Amino acid sequence: MKIFKKIRSLTNKISKKALIAVVLTGTVVGVGASVAVAEFYPNRPTFDYNNPAQRVGSNDGPVFNSFINTPSYGDERAFLDARRSDQTAAGSYKNVLPEVTGGSKEVVVRAYIHNNANQSTNASGKGIARNTKVRIALPTAEAESLRARSYISADNAATVEDTVDFVDTTAFKVEYIPGSAIIYNNGPLNGAKLDDSIVTNGTQIGYDALNGNLPGCFDYEAVVQIRVKVVPKETPKTTFSKQVRKQGETEWKEDVKTKPGDVVEWRLVTQNTGPTVLNNIIARDVLPPHVKLETGSVKFITAQSTTAQTDKPLFDGGINVGNFAPGGGFHITFATKVLGDFDPCEVRVRNQAFARSDQTPEVKDDADVIITRENCNPTPPKPVYSCDALQMTALGDRKYSLKVNYTAKDGAKLVSYKYDFGDGSTPLLTDKNPVEHTYKADGNFVARVILTFDVNGKQQVVESDKCSAPIKVTPVTPPVTPPVTPPVTPPAGTLPDTGPGEVAAVFAAVSLAGSMAYRVFITRKLSR
């Protein structure tokens, strides 16, 4: 038996390994789909190509795809695999093909067929598979994991099966592309079209004619491939936005600056950007404070017409505007007067709006109005200043670091720190934070800090229990230096007694050195 180069070029980069069990992280849906089952079927006796006695194949008639360790294919039992049509690099064909909804959204499914009968049995007709058919059953479900299954059958041979899985993170379905079935072999049928029945009842193949006759031997092996279209699940989608502008202006914005008495206009924009019809689209709005609806200003606008609406529904559960086809959409506009019923000189108010349908969840967007009162003198904020905490960190040898946490804002500014370390030493007045202090004796002490702030030009002194901390200074234990034992010099003419352990270590070191020297010698000798 020999393997021809033409068909080998289609299979020599596969290096497939049959899996006794396949466990996927999800449900595999499709023809004969299940989890943790044999990928190929049945689990049959094999011919090991590496064993010369078995390389002759079957002398008892046709047997399909039972060789293992072949140089061109590997394990023939796992004969079905796939790749995306835009993935042409070596190794693209896989038994579990990921990300099928990406790229070309088209998958090439491939089946390898080999009649393992010994070629010496072809002359008598015993080794020729009769009415040989290939069928690739595609899944009909829509899911994130789908399984296709292929069958190779003949009237005088047992049927064999194998599977390939398509997976992605989003649901999809697959559709056969009519006219895409092709056979490749080492004979005159190379590149011939196959009937589309390959995905229904199966279609006949052969070597020199599509008559179902397939002789035994690697000379007559074949590859059949089809193409399938990947169709991602149609996901309904709505885009929605809320905008605002001052009356009389033309540009819609995310926010506008106004003053009491101004009139602002609001717009809700809803668009069906998905592939399916959206039913019962409902738009609603929630008015913010400090604005008042202009009665009769609510309008429903489409490309065909503008229709006035009553005021209440938009702000009380929403307006049901009906159904919109893909690409369809509408606007809702209304106007409000800006009020000055607030104490600060300026406020920002936010108008929120929402849209939903039977197919899509509610989405939200908003727009803001900034209202500034004229001739308003804002009350300055009240200064805030405090001593919040004292942190102490031991640095060793009775030395400590003291750090103060404080608050100073809205006109308050820290001027100085006065540290009392609690050991009778003179308090330290400084503008530094943190500081370090070394205690001269052991004992228990309480450190305190007094802060001075400049508050709108006046100095304010703050003393707080929050800025005090107890500290226990303990004696420092000096490190103990172990005595040095002088080495014992052995008498002249004798070796030191290293003990069993040291003798073993010396032996290991000598052995390692000898091994390395021998390796260098061998390397040099072989390199000549």
457 lies in the same domain as 411: yes
pLDDT value at position 25?
A: 36
Q: How far apart are the C-alpha atoms of 307 and 293, rounded to whole Å?
A: 18
pLDDT value at position 339?
A: 96
pLDDT value at position 309?
A: 95
Q: How far apart are the C-alpha atoms of 158 and 214, rounded to whole Å?
A: 14
Q: How far apart are the C-alpha atoms of 426 and 225, rounded to whole Å?
A: 94
User: Cβ-count burial of 343 within 10 angstroms (0-12 exposed, 13-18 middle, 19+ buried)?
Assistant: exposed
Whether residue 4 is predicted with pLDDT greater than 60 in this model: the reply is: no
304 lies in the same domain as 409: no
In this structure, is residue 520 part of a structural domain? no
Q: How far apart are the C-alpha atoms of 25 and 153, rounded to whole Å?
A: 31
pLDDT value at position 486?
A: 60
* Mean pLDDT, range 147-158, rounded to an integer: 97
pLDDT value at position 476?
A: 60
Are 370 and 254 in contact by the 8 Å Cβ rule? The answer is: no
pLDDT value at position 501?
A: 38
Q: Which of the residue ranges 456-460, 468-472, 523-527 would you say has the lowest mean pLDDT? A: 523-527
Are 262 and 246 in contact by the 8 Å Cβ rule? The answer is: yes
Confidence of residue 343 (pLDDT cuts 50, 70, 90): confident
140 lies in the same domain as 86: yes
Which of 435, 453, 473 is where one domain is finished?
A: 473
17 lies in the same domain as 150: yes
pLDDT value at position 43?
A: 92
* Mean pLDDT, range 358-377, rounded to an integer: 94
* Mean pLDDT, range 217-244, rounded to an integer: 95
pLDDT value at position 3?
A: 43
Longest dimension (CA), the chain: 120
pLDDT value at position 234?
A: 85
pLDDT digits (tens, 9 = 90+) for 171-184: 999 999 999 999 99
What is the β-pairing status of strands 435-438 and 399-409? Answer: antiparallel
Domain, as residue range, for 271:
238-372
HEC string of 378-392 equals CCCCCCEEEEEEEEE
Angular region, 415: left φ>0, alpha ψ -120 to 50, beta rest: alpha
In this structure, is residue 487 part of a structural domain? no
Q: Which of the residue ranges 226-230, 335-339, 496-500 would you say has the lowest mean pLDDT? A: 496-500
pLDDT value at position 381?
A: 85
pLDDT digits (tens, 9 = 90+) for 254-303: 999 999 999 999 999 999 999 899 999 999 999 999 999 999 999 999 99
What is the β-pairing status of strands 329-338 and 291-293? Answer: antiparallel
364 lies in the same domain as 314: yes
Which of 179, 205, 232 is where one domain is finished?
A: 232
254 lies in the same domain as 191: no
Whether residue 406 is predicted with pLDDT greater than 60 in this model: the reply is: yes
Per-residue b or e along 55-77, where b marks 16 or more CB atoms closer than 10 Å to that residue's CB: bebbeebbbbbbbbbbebbbbbb
23 lies in the same domain as 90: yes
Whether residue 524 is predicted with pLDDT greater than 50 in this model: the reply is: no
In this structure, is residue 87 part of a structural domain? yes
The CATH number assigned to the domain holding 328 equals 2.60.40.1530
Whether residue 348 is predicted with pLDDT greater than 50 in this model: the reply is: yes
Q: What is the mean pLDDT of the chain?
A: 86
Confidence of residue 13 (pLDDT cuts 50, 70, 90): very low
Give me 153's structure tokens: 């059958």
In this structure, is residue 482 part of a structural domain? no
Whether residue 236 is predicted with pLDDT greater than 80 in this model: the reply is: yes
What is the β-pairing status of strands 412-420 and 428-430? Answer: antiparallel
Q: Which of the residue ranges 150-164, 192-206, 409-423, 503-517 would you say has the lowest mean pLDDT? A: 503-517
In this structure, is residue 499 part of a structural domain? no
337 lies in the same domain as 412: no
Q: How far apart are the C-alpha atoms of 248 and 351, rounded to whole Å?
A: 20
In this structure, is residue 488 part of a structural domain? no
327 lies in the same domain as 245: yes
Whether residue 9 is predicted with pLDDT greater than 60 in this model: the reply is: no
* Mean pLDDT, range 298-321, rounded to an integer: 94
224 lies in the same domain as 246: no
The CATH number assigned to the domain holding 467 equals 2.60.40.10
In this structure, is residue 497 part of a structural domain? no
The total domain count for the chain is 3
Confidence of residue 150 (pLDDT cuts 50, 70, 90): very high
319 lies in the same domain as 404: no
Question: Nearest Cα to 95, choosing from 9, 24, 152, 189?
Answer: 24
pLDDT value at position 94?
A: 95
In this structure, is residue 481 part of a structural domain? no
Confidence of residue 352 (pLDDT cuts 50, 70, 90): very high
Whether residue 28 is predicted with pLDDT greater than 80 in this model: the reply is: no
Q: Which residue has the higher pLDDT, 72 or 247?
A: 247
246 lies in the same domain as 225: no
Which of 340, 372, 404 is where one domain is finished?
A: 372
